[in-house]
Homo-oligomer: A and B are copies of this chain.
C-alpha cells in the first residue's frame, strides 16, 4: 500500500469510528453488556478459527526468529482465551460509568448546575505483541461508550484482525455500528504517524509497550497521550519499621513478578535500622536469586552485595536485581525518590504515625503506600475492576486507569428561563 492510501485508510477508519461512537455514547447499558457477554460466547465458539489465525502469526514469528518470550506473549493459548472470556464477563458486570450525575447544586442565579459523566469519544490504542490486549481494551472502551481504533504490532496482525472480526460480528448482530471497534490492517509506523495527527477524530491515545514506542508516540502526537514510560518503584524502610513486615513487603515487591512495572527496583533503608534489617533481607533475597547492588554502607552490612554503579540508581531492571542504599533520614529518602523515581509507586515501611503521613502527603507518585507491597498498584487490586493502562503523567489520570478514566464529565444546567444579569 503506498503512502497516500495508508493515510486515507487511517482517516477513513477514524472517521467511521467517530461517527459510530456518537450512537455508542447513548447506548443503553443492557445492550452494551449483552454485546460483551455475547462476545465472550463467540470467542469460545470460534476458538478453532482464532487458533488458525494465531498460528499464522506464530509461524511468521518463528521464521523471523522471535525470542521464546515474544512467541509466548504472541500465543493465544486456551489459558489466554479463558482470561479474555473472563475479562469480557467481568467488564459486563461492572457498573456503567456513563450518565452518572454528580454535584447538582442550585446557585444564586436560580439555575441548577452539576456534571454528567460521558464517554471520551474515540480511543486510539497503540500496542505491541500481546493480541489479547485487543479484546481487553475493546471491552473497556465499549463499556465506557467509546469507539476504539487499534493499531497492534505487525507480528500479531492476523490474531488482532480475527479478534476484531469476532467483535464486529457480535456488534452487527446487536445492531450496533461495528465501526466502534477497528484494527488497522497495515501495522507499520506510517499508520501510527497518521493516527497521531487526527486530533479532530481521536480523543486520546493510549500507547502500551516499550519505552521507545511510548516516547515516539508522545513526541509525535497532537492528541493527548495517557501513558507511563516505566516503573522505577522504591520501598523506604524507616527506622521505626517492623523488620519482619519490611522483609515480607520487600520480598513480595521484588520477587513476586519481577518483570512488571510495579515491581521494586530500589530499596532505601534508614541507617538506624540498616544493621538489623539489611543482613536479614539480603539473605532472603539472595536465596531467591536476587542480585543486590548496594551503596558502600549497604555492602559493609551485607557483604554478599555487589557495589552499585552510578547507573544502577533509578534503573528499571525488570529482573531479579535490586539497588540498595542506606540513608540518613526520611528526607534523604524522599529526595532520592524525587531524583530517581518514575512517579509510579512508592512505599514506606514504618510504625511512625508522623512519618507515614508525611510520606503519604509529600511523595509524588501515582500510588503512595504505607506498609504495603508496590505490587498492589494495579486497577484490579485497587478495586477499579479492570485497567486499560497506568498513567504516570498527571493530566486526566494518575495511576491505574479503569472505566471512569475512559470517561469525562460535561456540565449540565436545569433552568426555568434564567438569564445572566
Contact = CB atoms under 8 A, between A and B. Distances in A.
Interface of A: 22, 25-26, 99, 105, 107, 109, 111, 113, 116, 118, 120-121, 199, 203-204, 218-219, 222, 224-226, 242, 244-245, 248-249, 251-253, 256, 338, 347, 360-362, 364-373, 375-377, 381-383, 393-400, 408-420
Contact of A419 (B256, B399, B413): B256
Contact of A203 (B107, B120, B395, B415): B395
Given A116-B360, A399-B410, A371 B417 contact: yes
A224 B393 contact: yes
14 contacts: A109-B376, A111-B372, A204-B394, A226-B395, A245-B416, A248-B417, A252-B420, A360-B412, A367-B410, A367-B411, A370-B415, A376-B415, A395-B408, A398-B409
Given A120-B394, A368-B412, A395-B204, A373 B245 contact: no
Contacts of A396: 224, 395-396, 408
B361 A99 contact: yes
A418 B361 contact: no
Contacts of A204: 394-395
B395 A224 contact: yes
A245 B417 contact: yes
Contact of A199 (B218, B224, B365, B383): B218
Contacts of A199: 218
Given A248-B417, A371-B416, A411 B395 contact: no
